[in-house]
Structure 1
């Protein structure tokens, strides 16, 4: 069997992937290092330690929700390759600046100043990421054609991200506690340099990814362009269906992320030390699902992969809720994550097929923040139900006992199953998802599947 010299047979994509793989590991090290440093050094023994750590998460979310939707307008206007290069310069320079400041002794600056510097850095890094992600999405869309290869590319990206978060956090603690905060931060700054150099080598001909962008004189204005993008999304029943399915798919993942540790110690009667193995099963299942998604999409198509994935994942989540032994739970959790990752991967070619080139940045800038928001709200809702709404819930049906956490998991699984049934009929075939090209302006073009 001859080894292919490039991922998906495309050397440009391979170089772009390599740069992002290194950058993803750097981001994982950076995020973990900041949380560890704030919790164990800056806020050690302080009552406000948990709030200080939560500020890092809030800074990340603020960038996604407030910058993300508008970023898509600019990405659709600008040259995609230059946008990616510019964001890497900004992010690398910002982390390098924080690295230089971190050489100061901790006591030389008040804790509030340190936190302000960290929150500002995290906010700007993630704000720049809101420009980078849709630009990269558009570049890859032009590099890769065909549902199977696009799903394979999305699968490789997801597998890489999962691997980065398996490799990165274990690296962060030794770097922080053996060589210090400065060198852990420097690692991330250098990772942006690697990404920048990789993007520079990608062959994106001038205008290749911005051929349909209007000239400055023809642009209707920022607000109108933003409204046009949102309007296109809302009027596309296909895109709305995709978003709805993604939001529902977050039910299981969001509930697990919040309550799985309590499920492990309560329902599975396992020690807290074993909880990490559930996280490991999730990571490995994500990698496996991402890597096989391209083959499955090639075999049965993106639409079938999506609705079958929802059905299978929902059934497995219900099955997971009934587990009482740790080995069986680890196995079922791994199996649950595989179809969840596969259907997320399969949605990439569907999203691309339903979105004209001139709207890609804005569609991505709407899709991902809403998905992120739904994940957060689901996690909050699951925590509230387990801690308050269903805290004292207990019941039995046919000799099968139910408690609050396993009930939340089971109901989430049933909702995911219903979403699979809905997807079976709501998602049209590939031909219906493909945008119709005509000579009308973008605002008057067809708005999605009928």
Structure 2
């Protein structure tokens, strides 16, 4: 692949650089907080797992409570200015927590420390609910063409995957060598770098601000609540958007089950030590990077629509094959392969989502799409754990040369659902010339 002096365009390169630095900072921050809470703040207490889960619950609460409403404001506000304000807010929040972290742990009650952590995590993720759709809309203005938009989405996913490979190994040395406050300061500085990068982006005259022009113009709809309802109605009336959401939700159910049960699959089915579990995550991360970097070229070759349904079929089939593995090396290989088409299809959805959402509704479309898929992932994780621990517990069914246990059965069924969603995508995603997809005119899918 030919190296380019810039990534798609100079303006997108600056935006990407800010995201890259901020993503590493977020990965270090999240890992550091979990480690600090688990190994220092509540070490040895019987309710330590509950305290750690509170960090994850604060994240989920921000996504579900703030996300849908944030889209209304993003559609009203200047996109670049919204991103700058959220970076200032996040940087200040982390800086304040950093200042408090300079105190010895004994200076405050454990409950106060936990409250500070949970409030900060909630506030950071609530601000991100404004940043993410604003960035989505700004990229749509800066990057044109289906292939380049898919390439931009692929770079974003590859950057995120890389950040979660690089960030966590940095977190432990920072925490245990120089202390919590320095690990937090690293994240605060990453927001400052992101702010400078976003501020340097020159936005086209027609983009970055409130929706305008014939495509983005919308009538007044009764204030905040009216605009929120208008966004939901627009989403519900678009067969294309509904189909994309259904596909994303089904895909999240497959990935959610894998995230919950993979550690048990490693020890029970792959007959490997739990110490090797991290290598499976690394294999999936590397596969995700490969898939993200290839996605733009794949979309250019076959189109985003075909990349979506083919990606679902292939990733679902590979998940089924992964569920039948009994050796660690085979598991690593199949999980690496599974991550490639999964990331390609996730990347291919980005240009479809951009093309299906007029400028005036992009913030609200993203604010509906991502929280719903996040909720689906959470429900899948809970359902998979409940099935493995109750209904299917002790399952041991011989099937020819194979034996079906609880964990591998759940993963196999999840893979079959993903395959069926690929068939649904092939049938349900309308072509641009279809009367059901007027918003897709001019976009090859």
Common fold: TM-score over 0.5: yes
Q: How far is the alpha carbon of 1:434 from its aligned partner?
A: 5.3
Corresponding residue number in structure 1 for 2:13: 14
1:4 equivalent in alignment to 2:8: no
How far apart, in 1, do the equivalents of 2:291 and 2:405 lie?
30
How far apart, in 2, do the equivalents of 1:422 and 1:306 lie?
11
Corresponding residue number in structure 1 for 2:439: 435
Corresponding residue number in structure 2 for 1:381: 383
Q: Is the 8 A contact 2:211 2:217 kept in 1?
A: no
Corresponding residue number in structure 1 for 2:240: 238
How far apart, in 1, do the equivalents of 2:92 and 2:229 lie?
33
Corresponding residue number in structure 1 for 2:257: 255
Q: Is the 8 A contact 1:100 1:182 kept in 2?
A: yes
Corresponding residue number in structure 2 for 1:195: 194
Q: How far is the alpha carbon of 1:220 from its aligned partner?
A: 2.6
Q: How far is the alpha carbon of 1:227 from its aligned partner?
A: 0.2
Corresponding residue number in structure 2 for 1:412: 414
Q: Is the 8 A contact 1:255 1:379 kept in 2?
A: yes
How far apart, in 1, do the equivalents of 2:362 and 2:324 lie?
42
How far apart, in 1, do the equivalents of 2:349 and 2:2 lie?
30
Q: Is the 8 A contact 2:86 2:127 kept in 1?
A: yes
Give the 3 Å change call, closer, same or farther, for CA 362–389 of structure 1 in structure 2. Answer: same
How far apart, in 1, do the equivalents of 2:382 and 2:394 lie?
18
How far apart, in 2, do the equivalents of 1:298 and 1:3 lie?
18
Q: Is the 8 A contact 1:79 1:207 kept in 2?
A: no
Corresponding residue number in structure 1 for 2:275: 273
Q: How far is the alpha carbon of 1:431 from its aligned partner?
A: 4.2
How far apart, in 2, do the equivalents of 1:435 and 1:78 lie?
23
How far apart, in 1, do the equivalents of 2:110 and 2:303 lie?
54
Corresponding residue number in structure 1 for 2:399: 397
How far apart, in 2, do the equivalents of 1:99 and 1:423 lie?
47
Q: How far is the alpha carbon of 1:359 from its aligned partner?
A: 0.3
Corresponding residue number in structure 2 for 1:36: 35
Indicate the SS of the match to 2:165.
helix
Q: Is the 8 A contact 2:291 2:341 kept in 1?
A: yes
Corresponding residue number in structure 2 for 1:440: none
How far apart, in 2, do the equivalents of 1:338 and 1:210 lie?
35
Q: TM-score, normalised by structure 2?
A: 0.95
Deviation string, structure 1 residues 108-144 (Cα, Å, up to 9, x no partner): 1111111111111101000000000000000000111
1:54 equivalent in alignment to 2:61: no
How far apart, in 1, do the equivalents of 2:239 and 2:276 lie?
44
Number of aligned residue pairs:
436
Indicate the SS of the match to 2:398.
strand
Corresponding residue number in structure 2 for 1:226: 228
Deviation string, structure 1 residues 376-405 (Cα, Å, up to 9, x no partner): 100111101111110022212233211111
Q: How far is the alpha carbon of 1:264 from its aligned partner?
A: 0.8
* Residues 253-402 of structure 1 aligned to structure 2 (within 5 Å): 253-402=255-404
How far apart, in 1, do the equivalents of 2:427 and 2:172 lie?
48
Q: TM-score, normalised by structure 1?
A: 0.94
Give the 3 Å change call, closer, same or farther, for CA 399–88 of structure 1 in structure 2. Answer: same
Q: How far is the alpha carbon of 1:274 from its aligned partner?
A: 1.1
Q: Is the 8 A contact 1:353 1:430 kept in 2?
A: no
Q: Is the 8 A contact 2:151 2:296 kept in 1?
A: yes
Give the 3 Å change call, closer, same or farther, for CA 217–349 of structure 1 in structure 2. Answer: closer
Indicate the SS of the match to 1:401.
strand
Corresponding residue number in structure 2 for 1:172: 171
Q: Is the 8 A contact 1:71 1:130 kept in 2?
A: yes
How far apart, in 2, do the equivalents of 1:224 and 1:258 lie?
39
Q: How far is the alpha carbon of 1:4 from its aligned partner?
A: 2.2
Deviation string, structure 1 residues 84-115 (Cα, Å, up to 9, x no partner): 00000000011011101111111111111111
How far apart, in 2, do the equivalents of 1:216 and 1:384 lie?
45
Q: Is the 8 A contact 2:77 2:210 kept in 1?
A: no
Corresponding residue number in structure 2 for 1:445: none
Q: Is the 8 A contact 1:25 1:167 kept in 2?
A: yes
Deviation string, structure 1 residues 228-282 (Cα, Å, up to 9, x no partner): 0001001111101000001111122111101011111111111111111111111
Q: Is the 8 A contact 1:302 1:346 kept in 2?
A: yes
Higher deviation after alignment, 312-321 or 214-223: 214-223
Q: How far is the alpha carbon of 1:215 from its aligned partner?
A: 10
Indicate the SS of the match to 1:435.
helix
Give the 3 Å change call, closer, same or farther, for CA 142–434 of structure 1 in structure 2. Answer: farther
